[in-house]
Amino acid sequence: MYMDDYKRWLEADLEDPALTEELKSIAGQDEQIKDRFAVALKFGTAGLRGVLGAGSNRMNIYVVRQATQGLANWVKTQGGSQLVAISYDSRINSDVFAKNAASVLAANGIHVRIYDALMPVPALSFATRYYGANAGIMITASHNPAKYNGYKAYGPDGCQMTDDAAAVVYAEIQNTDILTGAKWMSFEDGLSQGLIQYVGDDCKEALYDAIKARSVRPGLCKTAGLKLVYSPLNGSGLVPVTRVLHDIGIDDITIVPEQQYPDGNFPTCPYRAEAGPGTGQVLRRRPDAGHRPRRRPGGHRHPLPRWNLRTGFRQRSGCAAAGLHLPRPD
């Protein structure tokens, strides 16, 4: 069965020539073919996630289109705005996958609001609620290595899709042929017909205002004299984070140059794209940020000043913010 699927893909006129080249390169390699075609990526409450490449068990434009057709079929049963919000991160092909998802939705008569540049997951959740969307799509693979990408689906509340909704979407995906089953129009046609629109500045400003409104002590940062080293980790946080920091009064910011700009290869984070040992090593080399004295358990000051590093990584749990005290570099 998987060999038949492989031959079908190999003989198809695929839009992405890199996929065809990959398929040709594994000719005669049964294990490689089986790994790509024996199973398909399964859609669940966390959406899809897999290694980039050719086949039903890889992330590519055809898997994205199939998943989006399944989502579109569900959206069309929901009434409401008939709109889906989309965002994407810096991972390889994230922008391509986002535009392909938008194209499938538009071909189904569903309106799309897509960010005009990469923005992080919270921005997608906010846009989903701001526009009263039926669903949201975030192209990301969270903390996985660079060879992965993913497709996360969100409900109208901006939260991860429920089990019941995900089950319906998965059933619709299974009934959609991966190569020919998805409706599709070009992204440009979707824009010209008004089915695809970019997220407006009004939504972005509302997001920033909502973040600043959560401040516990408004105005404190303007007089605190804080110095900050920040790393976007080659991801999507640079623009929104520095904007909010500036608005609350933190202007003395050093951006870690190795991790400043979007780069889906994550060259300084070989194990995790979010944070991990490589992240700490890069940050602790920066002499530019202020530090706070660290006290021993007994209450007296530790003789060496310490960095206070806040990340989205915890070695065991993998998600909650952790404070890591790193010795100040000499």
Residue 142 a catalytic site member:
yes
Q: Are 276 and 269 in contact (CB under 8 A)?
A: yes
Distance separating alpha carbons of residues 91 and 51, to the nearest angstrom: 12
The amino acid occupying position 48 is: L
CA-wise closest residue to 42 among 138, 180, 166 = 166
Of 142, 186, 236, 317, which is the active-site residue? 142
- Phi and psi for 222 in degrees, rounded to 5? -65, -25
CB within 8 Å of 15: residues ≥ 6 apart: 61
Which residue from 230, 232, 200 is spatially nearest to 290, judged by alpha carbons? Answer: 230
* CA–CA separation, 141 and 89 (whole Å): 9
Q: Which long-range contacts (CB under 8 A, 24 or more apart) does 313-322 make?
A: 313/143, 313/272, 313/274, 313/275, 313/276, 313/279, 318/143
Bridge partners of 85, per DSSP, are 113, 136
List all residues 6 or more positions away from 17 whose beta carbon is below 8 Å from its beta carbon: none
Whole-number Å distance between alpha carbons of 231 and 16 = 33
H helix runs in 193-248, sequence order: 201-212, 220-223, 238-247
Strand pairing of 111-114 and 83-88? parallel
Angstrom distance (rounded) from CA 324 to CA 47: 31
Q: Which helix (H) or strand (E) holds 48?
A: strand 48-51
Q: Is the Cβ–Cβ distance between 97 and 47 less than 8 Å? A: no
Q: Which residues are catalytic?
A: 142
